[in-house]
A and B are shown apart, each in its own frame.
Chain A
Amino acid sequence: MSVTDNSPAPSETTSARGRLILQEYGIFIAFLLLSGILSVSNEYFLTPGNISNVLLQTSINGILAIGMTFVILTRGIDLSVGAVVALSGIVAASFATTSATAAIPGGPYPAVLALAIGVLVGVACGALVGTIVSRFSVPAFVATLGMLSAARGMTLIYGGGKPVPALTPDFRFIGTGSVAGLPMPVVVLAVVFLVSWWVLSRTRFGRYIYAVGGNPHAANTSGIPVSRLRFSVYVISGGLSGLAGMILSARTGSALPQAGIAYELDAIAAVVIGGTSLSGGVGRITGTLIGALIIGVMNNGLDLMGIQSYYQQVLKGALIVGAVMLDQKRNHG
């Protein structure tokens, strides 16, 4: 004879299912609404030229936000992404400049080498932060705040406080070129997005990231290498910051020491608007992409309407807080 406990099986009601749909697609619906309003109110908004422009403006923040999603899913935060953008940009640029004063002797080197070095600088920064967080149990906020300051300083030391100008056309291709009519930064963002989506939703590594963020103790007792995973998310975020640094300097044609200031805030904003919980374990990479697109579309739309950029910042602030307020209401209301 089999005896079961007599509590009724939890069932879903229609309203619960409605909430679920809102939870899954709420951010997407908000994005469509915003785009809809903008395309009605401004005939220029939906033109191919403008769409391409929005995507281009979103690409750097999108890439950073995707890396940030990995980190936040494990209950961490990465405040160093903007500074790493600048450091990797300036190091890579010194290998790809035709300017005699700023170049590494023997340069300019092939663009591929310069790009690889730039990404590696980001990976190295991430590996250092990851080690500090996972081995020495320093809170991510503190470790990455330290890296923010250190990387800014190293950028100034490396370039003597001056920009590295005159990058080679080959190097600049990643920022200004295009493939099949799509700007390169957009192509890079698309590739990063697809790979990250696959990793987070279809691989063991991705499942482990959610488990570590959801309950690190349970993950540990289930045999999951928790500290190795914590380490790896900072490496991913660092590497993607390096990549974003390449795109930024390639677009502007020179690497500026003050590049990427406050980029971490936009990246965190995109993640949060996209519905990823800062307490870890909950979130989707598609949400992050849409979060980044919402920020991009909003800035673009306000530009088109001729509204001063000062107002855009106020609106962005309201958007971030409003998105999380809705989230809280949905989850705990």
Chain B
Amino acid sequence: MTYLLEVEGLKKSFGGVAALRDGALRLKPGSVHALCGGNGAGKSTFLKILMGIHQRDGGTIRARGRDVVYSSPAEALSAGIAIIEQELSPIPHMSVAENIYLGREPSGRFGGIDFKTMNRKAQALLDRLGFDIRASALMMHLSVAQVQLVEIAKALSHDADVIFMDEPTSAIGEKEAQHLFVAIERLKAEGKGIVYVSHRLSEIFQIADSYTVFRDGRFIGDGLLSDIDRPGLIRMIVGRDLGEEFYKTNVPTDEPGLEVENLTAPGKIDKVSFTAHRGEVFGIYGLMGSGRTEIFNCLFGLDTPSEGIIRLAGTPITVRRPRDAMDLGLAFVTEDRKLTGLNLGDSLRNNVCLASLPEMSPRFSMNRRAEADAARAMIDRFAIKAARDTMPVSGLSGGNQQKVVLGKWFLRQPKVLLLDEPTRGVDVGAKREIYRIICDFTAQGGTVVMISSEIDEVLGLSDRIMVMRQGRSAGILARDAVDASALVNLST
């Protein structure tokens, strides 16, 4: 059996701290291999070494049976290894063809670029792969999912036969994800090897054939997915038994917490109505661009609705800016913690306190004792792992960063919690911890409205689910009257 890629004993330390102790992976041609592990398990370091961004301290990499050594992404590509990163970086004002052939443009007369040949080659490649994208379109006009497909085409144009995909579905919707899976199947049929990195276990079980698990920077085990079940895989990733994957102890009441009636923002959402009760987790499911986040933006004063009534515990409220919503007891955990949730370079303490400064320091001068106490309280309450509360949050793992965002809002003792993708990019262990936090909050009479594009999560956690489609509500369903296929059907 020859492997497309064989990695053994890969090691890497940063300033004396071992990020990867023993990375190993074996990839067969024509297969999809899932690389699993919690945050901090060493997956990113592993990928960065294979990409040629970091230099390994030790270990061997064999591509098609031969030892390879490389020190840049370009050399990795020429060894046949391509990586599609989680955060894509296309050049937005250039065309698809220009992006695919960047640095390898066919030359025309007088040393210029032969755009005609380039476009034709690019289009032929996209067509062969069955991607419905025009080669002359500008990257800035493509959706995130289409940009990913272009990245795949780019990898194949380099004759790569090993393709790593790092959390490819974290920013795309269910339907687009299914398109991506079709593309992956096609690559598999062509005999390529795909290494698929994702926290979403249902996807892994859907498309992958085999798996490798890392934990604490070490290879833990590998095998065929047909030989393991979901709890078994979770046990390998976490290192112990987790019990129930979802945590659900709250009992909804009949008291309305947050009522929304005919909320409309032209071009974004149209006549959205729902009531979330106290003690309830009200889920919102929908594809990207279905108006999910726009509802929250309107509720929180980040966007202005043209009509609609919002009632909090029965009383109509007006929200013009985030501060109004916050004063009324709303809290909004945004979708992208790096973009809108955290000040990454700032300390854990300052991030936790960021939304509460007027309350904590009524006078002009800061109450530093109160800030330190608040940070301490949130670290204890959510079991945030950090060396000091004055360390920058950029040094924390994804799960701990998300807990800092939660801490920032829980510090305000909100009545209504708006959660937009509360567990994106968070590992299984921390996910469960966050579910517990959400449940405890509702069990104490809080109201939660939660957007999630992870079907398991929205089904596992919500008491009722509203499905959004093209800016409208496509229906509100009770927990026990709905399953995954109903959600997908309603949302498309």
* Any A CB within 8 A of the CB of B346: yes
Chain A residues, Cβ within 8 Å of B377: none
* Any B CB within 8 A of the CB of A220: yes
* Any B CB within 8 A of the CB of A308: no
A207/B357 in contact, CB under 8 A: yes
Chain A residues, Cβ within 8 Å of B264: none
Give B13 Cβ to nearest chain A Cβ, in Å: 10
Specify the chain A residue showing the minimal Cβ separation from B366: A202
- Taking a contact as CB atoms closer than 8 A, the residue among B326, B345, B395 that contacts A10 in the complex is B395
Give B36 Cβ to nearest chain A Cβ, in Å: 13
A7/B322 in contact, CB under 8 A: no
* Any B CB within 8 A of the CB of A313: no
A5/B354 in contact, CB under 8 A: no
Chain A residues, Cβ within 8 Å of B278: none
- The CA of A5 and the CA of B342, in the complex, are separated in Å by 20
B366/A6 in contact, CB under 8 A: no
Chain A residues, Cβ within 8 Å of B326: 223
* Segment from A35-43, A144-152, A211-219 that makes contact with B: A211-219
- Taking a contact as CB atoms closer than 8 A, the residue among A3, A8, A215 that contacts B432 in the complex is A3
A207/B350 in contact, CB under 8 A: yes
- The CA of A202 and the CA of B332, in the complex, are separated in Å by 27
- The CA of A204 and the CA of B364, in the complex, are separated in Å by 6
Q: Digit string of A125-141 for contact with B (CB within 8 Å is 1, else 0)?
A: 00000000000000000
Chain B residues, Cβ within 8 Å of A220: 302, 322, 340
- Taking a contact as CB atoms closer than 8 A, the residue among B16, B39, B430 that contacts A13 in the complex is B16
B340, B343, B395: residue with the most chain A Cβ atoms closer than 10 Å: B343
Instruction: Classify chain B: how many residues form its interface, as a range.
Output: 35 or more
Chain B, range 131-154, C-beta contacts under 8 Å to A: none
A3/B433 in contact, CB under 8 A: yes
* Any B CB within 8 A of the CB of A95: no
Give B20 Cβ to nearest chain A Cβ, in Å: 13
Chain A, range 1-55, C-beta contacts under 8 Å to B: 1-13, 15-16
B397/A15 in contact, CB under 8 A: no
Chain A residues, Cβ within 8 Å of B472: none
- The CA of A225 and the CA of B52, in the complex, are separated in Å by 43
A7/B40 in contact, CB under 8 A: yes
Chain B residues, Cβ within 8 Å of A1: 243
Chain B, range 255-299, C-beta contacts under 8 Å to A: none
* Any A CB within 8 A of the CB of B238: yes
* Segment from B74-82, B120-128, B383-391 that makes contact with A: B383-391
A5/B427 in contact, CB under 8 A: yes
B343/A9 in contact, CB under 8 A: no
Chain B residues, Cβ within 8 Å of A82: none
Q: Digit string of A58-72 for contact with B (CB within 8 Å is 1, else 0)?
A: 000000000000000
* Any B CB within 8 A of the CB of A205: yes
With A7-B40, A221-B322 given, is the CB distance from A204 to B395 under 8 Å?
A: no
B17/A11 in contact, CB under 8 A: yes
With A5-B400, A219-B354 given, is the CB distance from A10 to B391 under 8 Å?
A: yes
A204/B361 in contact, CB under 8 A: yes
Chain B residues, Cβ within 8 Å of A221: 300, 302, 322, 332, 334, 340-341
* Any B CB within 8 A of the CB of A101: no
Chain A residues, Cβ within 8 Å of B358: 204
Specify the chain B residue showing the minimal Cβ separation from A282: B345
Chain A, range 181-235, C-beta contacts under 8 Å to B: 198, 202-205, 207-208, 210-211, 214-215, 217-225
A222/B408 in contact, CB under 8 A: yes
- Taking a contact as CB atoms closer than 8 A, the residue among A5, A203, A218, A281 that contacts B366 in the complex is A203
Chain A residues, Cβ within 8 Å of B365: 198, 202-204
B366/A215 in contact, CB under 8 A: no
Specify the chain A residue showing the minimal Cβ separation from B242: A3
Chain A residues, Cβ within 8 Å of B302: 220-221
Chain B residues, Cβ within 8 Å of A2: 383, 433, 436
B345/A4 in contact, CB under 8 A: no
Q: Digit string of B448-468 for contact with A (CB within 8 Å is 1, else 0)?
A: 000000000000000000000
Chain B residues, Cβ within 8 Å of A224: 354
B364/A205 in contact, CB under 8 A: yes
Give A222 Cβ to nearest chain B Cβ, in Å: 4
* Any A CB within 8 A of the CB of B103: no
Specify the chain B residue showing the minimal Cβ separation from A4: B383
Give B146 Cβ to nearest chain A Cβ, in Å: 25
B346/A214 in contact, CB under 8 A: yes
* Any A CB within 8 A of the CB of B38: yes
* Any A CB within 8 A of the CB of B25: no
Give A203 Cβ to nearest chain B Cβ, in Å: 5
B16/A223 in contact, CB under 8 A: no
A9/B387 in contact, CB under 8 A: yes
* Any A CB within 8 A of the CB of B15: yes
Chain B residues, Cβ within 8 Å of A218: 334, 339-343, 354
A15/B40 in contact, CB under 8 A: no
* Any A CB within 8 A of the CB of B93: no
Chain B residues, Cβ within 8 Å of A222: 322, 354-355, 408
A6/B346 in contact, CB under 8 A: no
* Any A CB within 8 A of the CB of B73: no
- The CA of A8 and the CA of B399, in the complex, are separated in Å by 12
B216, B340, B354: residue with the most chain A Cβ atoms closer than 10 Å: B354
- The CA of A205 and the CA of B343, in the complex, are separated in Å by 16
Chain B residues, Cβ within 8 Å of A204: 357-358, 361, 364-366
B385/A3 in contact, CB under 8 A: no
A16, A202, A210, A222: residue with the most chain B Cβ atoms closer than 10 Å: A222
Give A215 Cβ to nearest chain B Cβ, in Å: 4
- Taking a contact as CB atoms closer than 8 A, the residue among A9, A15, A210, A214 that contacts B385 in the complex is A9
With A3-B433, A211-B354, A214-B346 given, is the CB distance from A8 to B216 under 8 Å?
A: yes
Q: Digit string of B323-338 for contact with A (CB within 8 Å is 1, else 0)?
A: 1011000001010000
* Any A CB within 8 A of the CB of B239: yes
- The CA of A315 and the CA of B210, in the complex, are separated in Å by 61
- The CA of A127 and the CA of B436, in the complex, are separated in Å by 49
- The CA of A3 and the CA of B334, in the complex, are separated in Å by 24
Chain B residues, Cβ within 8 Å of A8: 40, 216, 385
With A16-B15, A225-B323 given, is the CB distance from A4 to B340 under 8 Å?
A: no
- The CA of A204 and the CA of B399, in the complex, are separated in Å by 28
Q: Digit string of B425-438 for contact with A (CB within 8 Å is 1, else 0)?
A: 01101101100100
- The CA of A168 and the CA of B87, in the complex, are separated in Å by 64
Specify the chain A residue showing the minimal Cβ separation from B396: A10
* Any A CB within 8 A of the CB of B35: no
Chain A residues, Cβ within 8 Å of B353: 207
Measured CB to CB, the residues of B under 8 A from A are 15-17, 38-41, 215-216, 238-239, 242-243, 300, 302, 321-323, 325-326, 332, 334, 339-346, 350, 353-355, 357-358, 361, 364-366, 368, 383, 385-387, 391, 395-397, 399-400, 408, 426-427, 429-430, 432-433, 436
**5 closest cross-chain pairs (CB), A and B:** A7-B40, A5-B430, A214-B343, A5-B429, A9-B385
Measured CB to CB, the residues of A under 8 A from B are 1-13, 15-16, 198, 202-205, 207-208, 210-211, 214-215, 217-225, 281-282
A-B contacts, 30 of them at CB < 8 A, read A3-B429, A3-B432, A4-B429, A4-B433, A5-B39, A6-B215, A6-B238, A6-B429, A7-B38, A7-B385, A7-B397, A7-B399, A7-B400, A13-B16, A15-B16, A202-B365, A204-B365, A210-B346, A211-B343, A214-B346, A215-B340, A215-B342, A218-B334, A218-B342, A221-B340, A223-B321, A223-B322, A223-B323, A281-B343, A281-B345
